[in-house]
A = this chain, B = another copy of it.
Amino acid sequence: MDFNDSPQEAAFRAEARAWLEDNAERKGPGKVYRYKRGEPELIPAARAWEERKFEGGFSGIALPREYGGRGETRLQQIIFAEEEADYLIPPAVFSISHGMAVPTLLTYATEEQKQRYVPATLRGDEIWCQMFSEPAGGSDLAGLRTRSVRDGDADDADWIINGHKIWTSGAHYADMAILVTRSDPDAPKHKGLTYFFLDMKSPGIEVRPIRQISGYSNFNEVFMTDLRIPDAQRLGDVGQGWQVAITTLMNERVSSGVRPAPDFEDIFDLVRMTELENGPAIADGAIREKLADWYIKAQGVKLIRARLMTALSRGERPGPENSVSKLVSAFRRQEIAHFGMDLLDMGGGMVDPDLAPMRAMYQQALLDAPGGRIAAGSDEILRNIISERVLGLPPDIRVDKELPFDQLPSGR
């Protein structure tokens, strides 16, 4: 075993670091990035940073050269992200564009479309959002109801879209979108779907932000009313939308390695700065036991990532590492937030960043954590994925595979 980069990896890392040093400001004590999430100024800054990376040859590292990428490995892409995390740069707004939209376009779009959209996206000109989830769906992605209907009988007639999407990250600033619709409600659930891409400035789109518990609005609802999409913007065949969507989802990004706060190191810090009624908190056995449990989980997740990197460096496909890590990390974050507040006792409920330690990291995390256990694969869905795809256990009994979509029980 060897935790060092290979010579090639080390060379790339050095190159990345040198470029970053010239083009961005390194993080340091008290240095924070100037635009917070939710601020409108963030988007132009993110575009500018993406463009600068594109010029420097660091946008789309693992994407083909002929469409503006660098044509290298996913591992190098991760190495760059690791290094980038040490600099004050805009939080990623391009992850869906690079991780979902571009791979889907590369698989299903025409050559002309690829030339038109992929380089523009890598250059930061175009930001994509992904319109899959619907209010009635939840974890049941294929239960979507947004209707697509041909405007006429011609083989290349436009499509008219009506429906309602939800949990669309970035819809309020995105230029383009990928969209799955139901074109045939009489077909079984997974067989009547059709997939498109579209311009978010098209008439008939209304975006409404969703306010979360945490007070932030990372997600939107998108209402489509008589939205018109040319047939040329269909990706995959009519009725083949589920297969195209699977392509999109298989390309979900490998996490950048930026850890969600608070994690072990944070709670360890908080414990060590806390005095209890009977001495230092770090001397309390109950607290030590929790710290030990969180350490082995945090360390385990870090090491599972090292295994993933190893697999990628050999050109292997990622395994279930992300499902395991997400399941473990999302729940641990909620536990740590809960415990951190308890440690502060009667004052633990105060949310003012000037009063609560670490600028109210624990209080904010308590409100963020529930979403973390649901978004991008709920705990329950992840356990299903692990038990079915890794252990090979049978799927849940399905009542919705064969029936026409129209006739499925919906509780309504």
Contacts and interface: CB of A to CB of B under 8 A. Distances in A.
Contacts of A287: 285
Number of copies: 2
A22 interface: no
Interface residues of A, number: 9
A397 interface: yes
Interface in A359-412: 396-397, 399
Contacts of A286: 285-286, 288-289
Contacts of A399: 397
Interface in A253-298: 284-289
A262 B82 CA distance: 51
A137 B13 CA distance: 59
A113 to B, nearest CB: 43
Most buried by B among A284, A286, A287, A397: A286
A288 B289 CA distance: 12
Interface string A8-29: 0000000000000000000000
Contacts of A396: 397
Q: Which 9 A-B pairs have the closest CB atoms?
A: A285-B285, A285-B286, A284-B285, A286-B289, A397-B397, A286-B286, A397-B399, A285-B287, A286-B288
Given A285-B287, A286-B289, A289-B289, 10 more contacts: A284-B285, A285-B285, A285-B286, A285-B288, A285-B289, A286-B286, A286-B288, A396-B397, A397-B397, A397-B399
